[in-house]
Structure 1
Amino acid sequence: MKKSTHRGAMLSGAAMVLALSAVSATAAYAQSSQDAPVIEEIIVTAQKRSENVQKVPIAISVVSGEAMERANINSAEQLIQAAPSLTFRKGNTNKDSALTVRGVGTVSFASGVEPSVSTVVDGVVYARSGQATADFLDLERIEILRGPQGTLFGKNASAGVISMITRAPSQERKGYLDAAYYQGNEYRVRGSVSGPLSETLAGSLAGFFSHFDGNGKNVFNGHDINGYEHNGVRGRLRWTPTADLTVDLIADYSHNVDNGYADSIGTVFSSAYNDNVFLPSLKPLTPNDDNKDIDNDRDPSTKDINSGFSAQVNWSLGDYTLTSITAYRNWKNYQVRDGDFRSDAPSYVAVGALAADIRTEDYGRLNFDQFTQELRIASPVGHFFEYVAGLYYYHTWESNYFVRTVTSCTASTLAPVTLGALGTATPCAPGASTYTANSGIGNFQTTLENYAAFGQGTLNFSDRLRGIFGARWTHDSIDFVHRRLRTTGAAALSGVNPTFSGVGGTDSSGWSGKVGAQYDLTPKIMAYGSYTRGYKGPAMNVFFNMQATDNFGISPETSDAYELGLKSRLLDGRLVLNLSVFDTTFNNFQATNLDVIGTTVVSRLTNAGTVSTKGFESDFTFEPVRNLRFTGGYAYIDAKIDKFKCPPTGTCTALAINGKPLPLSSKHKVSINTTYFVPLEGQKFDLDFGAGVQYQSKMGFDINQNPYAIQKGYTTVDASVAFVSKDQKLRLALVGKNLTDQHFVINRIPNGSSFMRQITPRDGERYFGATVRYNFN
């Protein structure tokens, strides 16, 4: 019965899009055909060679850099506004943030696991999701490849790929300067210069600076929270000594400081402890679903330093192209966090029911190095057999230092008081009480190494029929060294396991691949179908609270994906409409299950068993008349837990969550954006109007299906109006974001059965601003 319901919803979604297309077509044909617009072709590199996106048999969403700049999309957190199948999960630090595609992704604090959604920048795979959370800078476009992409992209691509392509140096001197200011004292400045340096050398240099005070307050000290200060630079050189050889050298650096991401208290569950200790201590803070403020004696803080260098060489040998991409990246992350979420703990002697009345502080630092090398060859096009093949090597090393300090009140000279249902309690105060601090200090290092060989070919059976096949062999190895030292005692503290040291590792080899076909129904309509095998290597649960039971390896994650799609250019090139249906099953899904040590919630990586995602997607671009354009998409995604596998340690509620939705997945998401350019006769400027509507249905954040860890469905509306000079050099825009003032969160975390924590994004409120851009050449 459920399957019929799911199919009905999928078919209803498809019918809705097709009906809208029919209405749009009727409206378009009612317009005069004189000077009819034609939507430009989009060239992508989703199959490791430049191709028209309408000819590529993959479900792809493409967002141009220009569109992101106009819509104030500045990071992966906001990219979800333009791609319905994409979701961003914000953690307490960038290290713990993650992207999901079609409801599937990896969220973990462990250093021995990689994401299921791969982030690739200029052909370089970023090994950790946190590396890709910096501000976007000088992007040409972003390609979002939905579904397993392990054949050509390999590492951490069992659910999808986010491929970012930066702007190449131009052959003419040009550049831009862009400045923006928004309510909340948010401002951004970015710019770029590009042009020839000699007959064979061209270069570009881009930089940015951004600042935001924040969208909340720490009521303890009045400081702003959830703000940031980011800056960065990227340089690129392109050397073309001959017509057959091109060398690109790219270097980048960014420095990001965030006074967040703050855990605001949402729902607090009634209990003797909460009613008499926790809630009174939060005043004047009022916990609720809309709360963005905190009451912490230590402000949250995160600092990221990202840097890297890559060299890409493209060498044409006759009709063949050899490509080499060599890259090194370094990522440093620092975090400070208040772990008890209140400013006056401890308030009472921690005995009996008051054992949770403790102060917890966390400090962590991470240093991550990555080296990758890819070699590949691309055959000429236009023959019966076309192919791309290559070799890949990947090495990462991560070092973590983490300290958790737990302070309790162990004795007091103050007179006992009565605390309601808690009975008699002894209050604590400096000078009259004894405070005892215990710490857990963790040092752990993880090394990952990967070798792979891959190839994908196309058989051109006729001008209209093509067959696709590909495979990738991968070998992964993981090694770790871990030591955690308790400063006093051997028993577990709240949130700190006993002293532990261990050395170990795991390794595995596996296959991923693809087989499919595509057929041109007409010169403007292409249909395709494929089966794809995804693979993500083994993992280790290497994290601060690691213990002996975590020494075993976590099995590789595999996925089996079936997809049917249709890509079309209709109405004389005025409508581009792409549709896809998919059904993917993941086995040995690597996921996080929440556990409790003492009174502190911790996450534990495990093979969560079998999960699946199925659904329907559409992307469209429609230009009924010149200067009026609609873009957007709709996604129906049914991502669920088929059979949860209990972890060997910790709590488990498998029977309760089998058949339930996966976290970070909405069944329905819609994004519709429109631009309308109005030339003004006799004026020195033209008008450019923009508007966007985004909707998503309810979404849960907890794999254990906590009913309070849910964000209800919501709709946001953005709008802008720009004054553009006739020569297109100057653009001044007024921008309104989230005009309906819809509050929403992008994470809710259960703190055991005590309360819910939540994180509110920048766009979770209405705000206005202005931008100015000057293009020069």
Structure 2
Amino acid sequence: MRAKKSVLSLAVTLAITTGLALSTQAHAQQEQAEQQAEQNDNDKFEKIVVTSQKRTQSLNEVPLAVSVLNSDQIDSAFANNMEGLQSLVPSVSFRKGTTTRNSALTVRGIGTISFSIAAEPSVATVVDGVVLGRSGQAFADLYDVSRIEVLRGPQGTLFGKNASAGVVNITTKDPSYDTTGSVETSFYQDNEYRFKGVVSGGLTDDLAASLTVFKGKFDGYIDNVYNNEKVNGYDREGARAVFKYEPSDDLNVKFIAEFYNADDDCCADLEALPSGRNPDSQAVPDSNGIVDGVADIDLDQRKVDHDYESRTIDEHSAFSVQVDKTIGDYTYTSITAQRSWDNTEYREGDFTSIAGDSNEPVFGAPFQLHDLGAQQWDQFSQEFRVTSNLAGPFNYVAGLFYWNMDSQRNFTREASCQNNGGQLDAAMAFYAQNNLSGAELDAALADLDTYTQSLGVSCNANDIVSATAYMSTEFNNWAAFADGTYDLSEDLRVLFGIRYTDDEVSYTHRRISNDEFGRTGVGVRPATLNTDESGSAEETNVSGRLGMQYDLGDGQMVYGTYSQGYKGPGFNVYYNFNPDNDSREISPEESDAYEIGYKYASREFVFNMALFRTEIEGFQANNFDCSDGTCITRLTNAGDVSTQGAEVDFMWAATDSLTLTGGIAYIKAEIDEFNCPAEVAAGSCTDRSGLDVPFSPDLKYSLSADYYIETEHDFNIHINGSYIYTDEQYSDLPNNVGEFNPAALLPDYGILNASVGLSFKDDAFRVSLIAKNLTDESYATTYSGDNFRYQIPRDAERYFGVSFKARF
């Protein structure tokens, strides 16, 4: 159990809570107040700008469900990355993996969770117009972000890459021609600090540039009792340079270069249910296990006992050039981009410090399992678009898109030898057949025990064997797309769009045993199952969108749309690739979405509501396979699923100083039809219709308040408070007979965050006191498996920090 908080911590909690009460639990940035003074009486909220439809529009003009987090909201949240910000968008959930490559976003309960390197995400992530090949590339630190737009439902007639569930569109800040800069640093408990510096200005009359650098380091919040060190921390640094060239009013060229490095000892799985692997350890959970079908999860667990450090090393580099040229009534856009991502993971897989030392066979003795995997992604993309100028009744965006991604991964597992099913005899027979002949071979096969003993070969927990898999994939995607509107009258317009997609995916997989005798191990297949496989798939798709939009007047609008989504084919290419099962193509995932919405915007109030239903055929998900006696999950077309519900979000300028922002999503994401794995025996698999899709809480909502107090002295006060609630959710699919593992049910939770800031000299200098999780509510974001492993994040406990920001 965690120690009680200090008197100082409780005093700070009381001070912040009191401040919230006195200020109606709110906060508004000084920048917002300055903007308000400059705006006229009609455009405070009506001109919230988004580019989700590839043109600059007000949020209330866009006929689709889109959530927007602007730079003020992002700064007020004091969140480092998408993991921290996703809680502010009720329709989005985050699946935390042991590395960034294994983490994923879900929108309206739909997302792709897979270890395969030959599968695409259901939720596309776009940064400055560039589609990322893997969602994990966006889970790095967010810095210098202008806004984040979350488009819910299928997308494809507007974005370069198709998506079956949604798009997260991230836009960074442009440089200014006025020379400006800022320095910001923050410090938190447990020796965490972050630094960011920005300088921007004009180099010539038509060339502006900006440079952003950041550095962050954190010792961690998990105690490893094996070596008395902290884990689940990070050490990160990065830089982004932007050049904007505008030689004339009709030409804009923007070049972006970005570099990012991270060395994170993250993310160790916590034993929150008793595993029995080391009952004498100081890190055993305070739990009774599963009682009467309910998991007694120790959410206060903050200790591990690991002799191998889980660690992730990331290296990113990115370059892009965007050219916008206006000729007559049309704007032509070209976006050329190249990105590289190197990701290396070190994984503790036995989750104890006493494994692999015994000369007894497993599983009577604790087994060792350690992983090392390095992967490199290189992607190139090119997009061309033409956009009409909104001058007449018919307007459109049309484009061509090409995307290529190459990936290589090497994965080595070192584990205790396994002989609980006579595997040693099979290994030694294989070894004899490859090393002996004639009478020697006959004698060895006749008496394998004698032959094994003559070589001094055993197969116990302290006999460490290994195998390495060498994998590669290549994706090629090209598409033509168009989206348009036609005004039937001043208030009524037709919405339509179409997309043609051509997808190709290919893979190679070669696994070899590194053991001289070809022995099998825990998670290490024997030399008899070495593989050298390759395969490819090609699919085409035509998808579209059709709808109506009607302006009711007085800032009100209603719309209704039908849209189709698509995600390309794939293969289950991972370490323990099995040619018999995993060489089969995973068919594309296709979706049909229906949505009706209402939007209202005035100077003081913005209100958006959407009712939706999406039906997905060929849902790509990790499916249970217990065909060989050991249950594993493999990526398959698990079946058909649907998600339906209602979403509401609003912004309200209650007074000149108080702004309230909130959202709520009620979503039911369910399995409609389940495809039993071909390997599962008849009668061993039942229908799962009506059961929940993983990471799809039925209810999620958030409410934040911003309050700005202008004093007569030389400082002003900024107060922020936010509350986020997430309903209980399953973190895994039900098994083959339609039963959920009780350990996979994650309890609901609600988090209260707050900050109080003082600004001086027209906000040239600001100091803020930050409180995370004021009520000290602990929760888990992911059940990782084995009936005991969980991910419990940093924000699942109360902690405090202070931030300093200076602008010039």
Q: Distance in 2 between matches of 1:650 and 1:297?
A: 37
Q: Distance in 1 between matches of 2:633 and 2:280?
A: 27
**8 Å contact 1:409–1:435 — kept in the other structure?**
no
Amino acid at match of 1:85: S
Q: Distance in 2 between matches of 1:75 and 1:83?
A: 14
Equivalent residue number for residue 329 of structure 2: 319
* 2:202 corresponds to 1:196: yes
Q: Distance in 2 between matches of 1:631 and 1:690?
A: 11
Q: How does 1:39-438 map to 2 (within 5 A)?
A: 39=45, 41-268=47-274, 274=276, 278-280=277-279, 282-286=281-285, 288=287, 289-290=298-299, 291-346=301-356, 348-351=358-361, 354=364, 357-408=366-417, 435-438=462-465
Shift of 1:444: 0.9
Amino acid at match of 1:137: Y
What SS does structure 2 have at the residue aligned with 1:655? coil
Equivalent residue number for residue 736 of structure 1: 771
* 2:486 corresponds to 1:480: no
Amino acid at match of 2:524: V
Q: Distance in 2 between matches of 1:156 and 1:387?
A: 18
Q: Distance in 1 between matches of 2:366 and 2:565?
A: 47
Equivalent residue number for residue 3 of structure 1: none
Shift of 1:769: 0.8
**8 Å contact 1:37–1:623 — kept in the other structure?**
no
Q: Distance in 2 between matches of 1:531 and 1:453?
A: 19
* 2:647 corresponds to 1:648: no
* 2:636 corresponds to 1:611: no
* CA 1:696–1:173: 2 relative to 1, 3 Å: same
Equivalent residue number for residue 634 of structure 1: 664
**8 Å contact 1:37–1:626 — kept in the other structure?**
no
**8 Å contact 1:474–1:509 — kept in the other structure?**
yes
Equivalent residue number for residue 764 of structure 1: 796
Equivalent residue number for residue 718 of structure 1: 753
Q: Distance in 1 between matches of 2:270 and 2:283?
A: 14
Amino acid at match of 2:502: H
Aligned equivalent of 1:530, options 548, 555, 561: 561
Q: Distance in 2 between matches of 1:482 and 1:664?
A: 30
**Cα shift readout 1:578-632 (whole Å, capped 9, x = no counterpart):** 0000000110001112457999875411001101100000110001210100001
Equivalent residue number for residue 518 of structure 1: 549
Shift of 1:696: 1.2
* CA 1:353–1:163: 2 relative to 1, 3 Å: closer
More strand by share: 1
What SS does structure 2 have at the residue aligned with 1:657? coil
* CA 1:248–1:142: 2 relative to 1, 3 Å: same
Aligned equivalent of 2:696, options 643, 665, 672: 665
* CA 1:36–1:559: 2 relative to 1, 3 Å: closer
**Cα shift readout 1:541-586 (whole Å, capped 9, x = no counterpart):** 111111212112110000000000000025xx21110000000011
**8 Å contact 1:350–1:409 — kept in the other structure?**
no
**Cα shift readout 1:123-182 (whole Å, capped 9, x = no counterpart):** 000010111111001001000101111221252511000000000011211111111111
Equivalent residue number for residue 493 of structure 1: 521
Shift of 1:407: 2.2
Shift of 1:677: 0.4
**8 Å contact 1:410–1:436 — kept in the other structure?**
no
Q: Distance in 2 between matches of 1:352 and 1:541?
A: 29
Q: Distance in 2 between matches of 1:47 and 1:109?
A: 32
Q: Distance in 2 between matches of 1:741 and 1:384?
A: 55
* CA 1:380–1:556: 2 relative to 1, 3 Å: same
Counting matched residue pairs gives 710
Shift of 1:39: 3.1
Shift of 1:501: 1.2
Shift of 1:286: 2.9
What SS does structure 2 have at the residue aligned with 1:246? strand
RMSD between superposed Cα atoms in Å: 2.2
* CA 1:88–1:692: 2 relative to 1, 3 Å: same
Shift of 1:749: 2.0
Q: Distance in 1 between matches of 2:159 and 2:270?
A: 38
* 2:608 corresponds to 1:578: yes
Aligned equivalent of 2:538, options 507, 512, 515: 507
Equivalent residue number for residue 468 of structure 1: 495
Which stretch shows the higher mean deviation, 477-486 or 260-269?
260-269
Equivalent residue number for residue 705 of structure 2: 674
Equivalent residue number for residue 292 of structure 2: none
Shift of 1:642: 1.3
What SS does structure 1 have at the residue aligned with 2:795? coil
**Cα shift readout 1:250-292 (whole Å, capped 9, x = no counterpart):** 01011011111001111136xxxx3xxx242534533542223
TM-score for both structures, normalised by structure 2: 0.85
Equivalent residue number for residue 597 of structure 2: 565
**8 Å contact 1:108–1:603 — kept in the other structure?**
no
**8 Å contact 1:442–1:482 — kept in the other structure?**
yes
* CA 1:436–1:129: 2 relative to 1, 3 Å: same
Shift of 1:66: 2.2
Q: Distance in 1 between matches of 2:492 and 2:359?
A: 77
